[in-house]
Amino acid sequence: MEFRLDHPKFESLCAAFEYALREHAEKEHPVYPGMKPAFVFRGECGRFPTTMPSIARVTGLSRADRLTLAKISDWAAERLHEEREDLTWPQASALLQHYGMPSRIVDFTGDLALAFSFAGRGDSDVGRLAVLPYVPSETGPMFEFFDHPWAERAQRQAAYGVLTDASELNDLKADSARARFNLRWYEFTILPDEREFSQKRTRGVLQESNDPSAGFVRYYITGYVEEFGKLSSRLTQWLLENIVIAPYCALVASHEGEEAEVFFRPAECLLENGLPAFDPGLETECSRRYWSSDCRDNSRQRLLNFVMPAPGRIFVDPRTYHSNG
């Protein structure tokens, strides 16, 4: 079935933005915790025939590897939720997805301008915008994802999302999903200067070096491998190509027995504290050796002589940072 637009194609991104701003948003700026938007938005670069959750868009893996990837995603979200009970399971899953871990969530944003920026940043000269009336509910399927101090990238994106299931509502371009959610789709041409502006806008949102939560996904994948065993080389490669490669580091605030209270910090804090710079190439290969069944390296060895630093010092999980030996 041919994809149906809810308005004739716009001649430019700016023309589509002006229409959407007038029809669906009182302002272009994002909403903040405690504020509820009337609509949330999703920008896409290209004419994709479906809009499905990221776990359903994974390609290049065997069925067994796709199942393992889904298990890693659910396990990591559950561990994150257990560590912070005020972080709900959907919020935890979304937090990990923002750094490359696929999930059953389709991302939206409360920032109309940012949705258009994501639609305009790719290689296609055609973009699409989805407009979804936001219906707050504690049980879903629509959720707000940025109301938590650990959700740094979600805060930058004013992130919302739809938690999908295995039904026909899995595809947000299907007529059944469009009817249920009263979802509207617009299409527009992306001009060269609009692409340049969009890429500049999204570059800051996706910057990793100043993001204190960027190392979470890599940390939890390593934990999964330690508990359940190594992954295939192909799945390992897929993960290394798709997730954010960053250190899991924090400022130690205090010690409470064997536990420590910490405040997560970004990679740029390493240099600020006299430590060697984070090397993504080196770290990618270290994680490959820990995760892949082709390698015998055991990440637990990195913890044998580890001692939590004193309050006021920077802690870096040694399985995610190797530049200092």
pLDDT value for 1 = 57
- Name the band, by pLDDT with cuts 50, 70 and 90, for residue 261: confident
Confidence of residue 168 (pLDDT cuts 50, 70, 90): low
Distance CA 103, CA 57 (A): 10
- What pLDDT, on a 0 to 100 scale, did the predictor assign at position 260? 80
pLDDT for the residue numbered 169: 65
Q: How far is CA 91 from the centre of its chain?
A: 11
- For 137-168, give the secondary structure using H, E and C: CCCCCEEECCCCCCCHHHHHCCEEEEECCCCH
pLDDT at residue 33, as a whole number: 65
CA-CA distance, 79 to 9, in Å (whole number)? 44
Q: Is the dihedral of CA 14, 15, 17, 18 positive or negative?
A: positive
The closest of 244, 255, 313, 316 to 284, measured between CA atoms, is 244
Overall average pLDDT of the 234-245 stretch? 98
Is residue 262 predicted with pLDDT exceeding 90? no
Band (pLDDT 50/70/90 cuts) for residue 255 is: confident
pLDDT tens string 124-152: 999 999 999 998 887 889 999 998 999 99
With b for 16 or more beta-carbon neighbours within 10 A and e for fewer, the 17-40 pattern comes to beebeeebbeeeebbeeeeebebb
Interval 270-318: pLDDT, tens: 999 999 999 999 999 999 999 999 999 999 999 998 888 999 999 999 9
Q: Which of 128, 72, 63 is nearest to 100 (CA)?
A: 72
**Which ranges of the chain does DSSP label H, i.e. alpha helix?**
13-24, 63-83, 89-97, 112-120, 152-156, 175-181, 192-205, 216-228, 233-242, 268-272, 280-291
Confidence check: pLDDT of 34 > 90: no
For residues 217 and 76, the answer to whether their CB atoms sit within 8 Å is yes
Angle at 156 between CA 81 and CA 78, to 5 degrees: 10
Number of H helices, E strands in the chain: 11, 9
